[in-house]
Structure formats: structure tokens, C-alpha cells
A = this chain, B = another copy of it.
């Protein structure tokens, strides 16, 4: 049986979809929450409203973060808030820095906004913050550093407390803004939480987060914690873009929290995803030990894998679908390079799919 015959009946393993699985969505609870909030507060949440979002949810988030509610901007997903921030804080031609690899959609937004992007290498053993500092010392003017410190997309890596502290110190010395994107932070399946960058300097850091990975991506509820001096400008830009976000969706999230579903739901997700992560790490160890290196995440959605540099041309020339796999092109997560990088999302796959997928990946890389 040749490869093309195999591919005809093999259902491909989707290592492309960094999404929550269908079975994670709390459908019944959300149906009830939606019904309750619209009945109880319909004349408010169905109307035009202030741009910063549904006040009761702002207050819950503010309380959790120890800041005033006016510093919380609720939007329609956090990506769009980032787009607004890039336009409010920067001008075309300005230079920003990102971990490399980083979230591909953020690179797209930055390029679209006409920004120069400096990649700071992020390897399995950590962020190359020395290189970054050296460039700053040499006078390179960086206006903003975008980071996903917890269970990074696409690498799965957690920034150490030391790296976080050093980054904050650099931001103060060289006057750049840090945007901390934290959508995976609550999804830790083992190990100890690391202090957020926001908590290291809550007056200056912008934190973005979202309920997309914790409750539902379809509700499109993301938010920003903003420094006091940015609130007016960013809110006005948002109002000019979409008047106000959907309060209905904010209120559904609010009701989900108030009804007491949140804690149990996160525990349920953690238990489900922990098993899938373990299956991924075990399969990698069995199949690819010595041929690739990969991160050892304790949470989130992704394992990042670097193939042996000798194989990188080999990866690009292969058609993953012939091996029953769908893979994202690693180069999408890189400003330059990425031919040797593979992102492996595990949350939306059953453990047996993960095992089969990694077997196929091994077959592909070692044929």
C-alpha cells in the first residue's frame, strides 16, 4: 500500500486547531444563563450601552485583579482589543518586540498596522532576554513588547519569574509598554503558578485576557486591564469602531460566574486537558526522543516542537496530509524562520488521536 492509498482512508489528525473541544462547552449552563440574564436585565443588555462593557462583569474582574473597575475594558474578544491598542499606542513604522515564535494572528495585526517587528528568540530553554537587552542598550527604540507568558501559544512555555522581573525592569529603563496576553493562565494542570507580569507592576502593564478558553470562544468576550492614562483614548477608539460590545454576551459570562459554575468548570477542563497533555508528552517521548526537542508544558493548549535542524528542509518538503496529519506551517509563528518548528495543540483531541497523530508524525520525520 503506497502513501497516497493510505491517505485516502485515513481520517487526518488535526494538529492545526488551537480551540477548545466541543465536549468542553458548558451548553446547558450557558443556555440557562442566557435565558436568565435576558429576562432579568434585557432592557439594559439589549440596548446601546457604554463602550467599556457590562458593569457587573467589569466589577468582578476588577475585584479579582485589585484595580478599580474603570481600568477594565471588556470587548469582543481580546484580539480586537489588541488591534485597537496597536492603533492607539503606535504609529506606522514604530518598532515592537515579540517572542519568537509567537501567536500568528498577532504578527498579522502588527504587520497590518505597519509596525516593524523585532523577534526575541524563545527556545525550549527560555527567552533570549540578553539579546533583547543588548539591542536596547545599542539604542534600538522598542515601543511595545507583546508576550504570552503563561503556556505560550504556540510553544506552551511559561516565562520564569526571573525573566518576568527582568522584562519589567527593562520596560521601565527603556520606556516601552508590555502587553501581557494571558488567556491560558488559569489552565494549569500541574506545578506552581508564577506571578503574572501584571502583578509585578499593575500600574503600567497592560494585561489582555479572555473567556474564550475558559467558557466559550463563540461568546467573543475578551478584556484588557489598562493603565489609568490609557483608558480614555482606548475607550474612545473602541466606541468609534463598534459603539459598544455585546452586553448580552458579557452578561451571560457574568451570570455563569455568579451562578457558581466557574470554579467547577475550570476544574473539569483541567482534568480533561491534563490527560490529553500527558498523552501527548508520553507519545512524544516514545516516538521522537532524540529526533526532536519539545517543551514540557504544565498547562495550556500547546506543545511546541523543534525538529533536528538537519531535518528542516525535509519538513517543508513533506506533505503532512500524505501521512494522515494536518499541521500548521511553523513559519506562521515566526517573523523569520520557523521551518523547524511544529505546534502541537492537544486539547481538542482524544488521547487515542494524540497517540496515532504522534506515531504518524514520527513516521513522517523518520521515513
Contact = CB atoms under 8 A, between A and B. Distances in A.
A217 B218 CA distance: 19
A35 interface: yes
B49 A79 contact: no
A359 B112 CA distance: 52
Given A34-B35, A35-B34, A47 B76 contact: no
A27 B48 contact: no
Integer count of this chain's copies in the complex: 2
Given A77-B242, A109-B240, A249-B248, A25 B39 contact: no
Given A27-B43, A32-B35, A38-B30, A220 B240 contact: no
Name which of A19, A46, A108, A112 has the most chain B CB atoms within 10 A of its CB: A46
Contacts of A35: 31-32, 34-35
B32 A218 contact: no
Contacts of A153: none
B42 A25 contact: yes
Interface string A181-215: 00000000000000000000000000000001000
Contacts of A247: 218
The A interface, classified by DSSP as helix, strand, loop or mixed, is helix
B31 A42 contact: yes
Interface of A: 19-20, 22, 25, 27-28, 30-32, 34-35, 38-39, 42-43, 45-49, 76-77, 79-80, 83, 105, 108-109, 112, 212, 216-220, 240-249, 252
23 contacts: A19-B47, A22-B43, A27-B46, A30-B38, A31-B35, A31-B38, A31-B42, A34-B34, A48-B212, A76-B220, A76-B242, A76-B245, A80-B241, A83-B241, A105-B240, A105-B243, A109-B240, A109-B241, A216-B248, A217-B243, A218-B244, A220-B244, A248-B252
